[in-house]
Amino acid sequence: MNTGKLNRFITIQTLVQTELSGHVTESWSLAETVRASVTQVDGSRLLDGDELKDKVVYKIVCWDNSYSDNLKIGYLGLDLFPVIPIEKNPGKSFLNEVIIYASAKNSTILTT
């Protein structure tokens, strides 16, 4: 990866499950801010009733070796979630090049 392309800041949170008295609760970990390369690779707009729904897919590339598949990415005020399994490629200095294709779950534009 060309490190000069890591020109965006994103936040990454992982899903944490805790069990208390037989009940499992889910929460998001504290956000970690990392440098990344973010490019839009796909976009579509669908009409669902009276709403236009956008589906924009971003390719996010960053360095790390501890991300699980259950994560949430904060970028430009959006919460992005992986749409396919995360790809990890071995890199230098015991870090992995992480490639994530992610999209917002419910992007909606109201029509009038």
Name the pTM for this structure: 0.77
pLDDT at 37: 94
Residue of 66, 55, 65, 62 whose CA lies nearest to 100: 62
Residue of 98, 55, 45, 110 whose CA lies nearest to 80: 55
Which H or E run contains 10? strand 8-20
Q: Tokens 């009733």 sit at which residue? A: 49
pLDDT tens, residue by residue, 4-45: 678 899 999 988 888 888 888 888 988 889 999 999 998 887
